[in-house]
Structure 1
């Protein structure tokens, strides 16, 4: 009987380092370590659109519903929901951890899933992360990145007093849209996830450089830590400045969704 080499993509098992080598050889991608608070968590993303196709983490076994103490090395992959249902019946394959459980699966990197199956599912995930030409988010819901300048308005104090506040509106924002408030210097980070609950409220005010004709009511959903989505993180996703309302690029949305799931929140 041959011996199993867990570090080789050609063996019967595949570990973290083997996956990284495989991803670089096959797709030209290298791991990115995005979170100071989770130094062992790495993402792999497609080079053409920046979307994640794999997330590697070390997670306490009890959080995965597994017996025994210690941590498990896991790999989260995108997966067709129909295929995911049957795969989760196999040893070493679980619902997506901290990711959308219908569209992601978790693989244990402990030898219980053979290397060839991991290679196949990794390739499927890479393909799924490519999306479909012309694919758009459902009508009626958009994700907005909107600047907040503490020089003109103390948004932190406003949200400390109540969870629904009034905000200057872009004419295209609709009820149900998600608003991410980027607080300008000295913070320079996305701090708040909100939902537009009322829009197109007539309101006329001119105060210095700030002019408002319509406002909206936005409800606080989640507060991020200042180092989670700071300007350096935004730049890594192609956002170099936030001077006015804009759509959130998909690579940045992937990271936001991951942070929300880490915090036990559902997107939106």
Structure 2
């Protein structure tokens, strides 16, 4: 897993390298207080990254709740975090990597090869006796990183509609089945998608399962090219990271359900995989 994840012990060792950029990406659906959580306690030297404004473009029904950011703006943000060409980057959150994986995926997509997720995040760091800083950190020296977007596979709604491989829905099972929908305008899933909740990538301590367990999990979904979506392209990145950890490349559908469900031309399925499909009127 070394290409995707880093342990707390490994983090202690690499923090001696002043080139390492440490990014705090605390965000959760319905919790807008990431900046305050950062001020109350973070890993020393970490820079807070705002998922809503720095890792996404403004939301719209046509593009979804967390569209991919403009590459020029993302590069400007990365430089403000102090990232320089060739710097290793480590990202973390306090929710098992659910938000940090968005930064992992975006920076990999943008051409930064050495990006890893802290396995277990801040709780694991604290549990291992790691130091905690409070308040704001000094502004980092402006970086000079040059981004080269397009280094991770992406699909759009049309490709998702006709995907011939394995299309994984990373949301909770009840949202997939259409039993509840707390955010988006329609309940259900993309016809043909398989329910694969992102939360099942993690153990009870919020760490990624062992490689063999992840391999078994994904093997059960079948073979063929893999693509992943979720509500808005955030937790699906966690699924892509878990797949990458076991050597499986997966495409991300960034618009995800928030885009699909806002398009009245798109069919919607409910229930389990063999459930009913609601086809829009032509």
Q: Shorter chain as normaliser: what TM range?
A: under 0.3
TM-score by length of 2: 0.25
State the structure with bigger RCO (CA 8 A, min sep 6), 1 or 2: 2
Please report the TM-score for the alignment, with normalisation by the length of structure 1: 0.26
Give the strand-richer structure, 1 or 2: 1
Give 1 or 2: higher helix fraction: 2
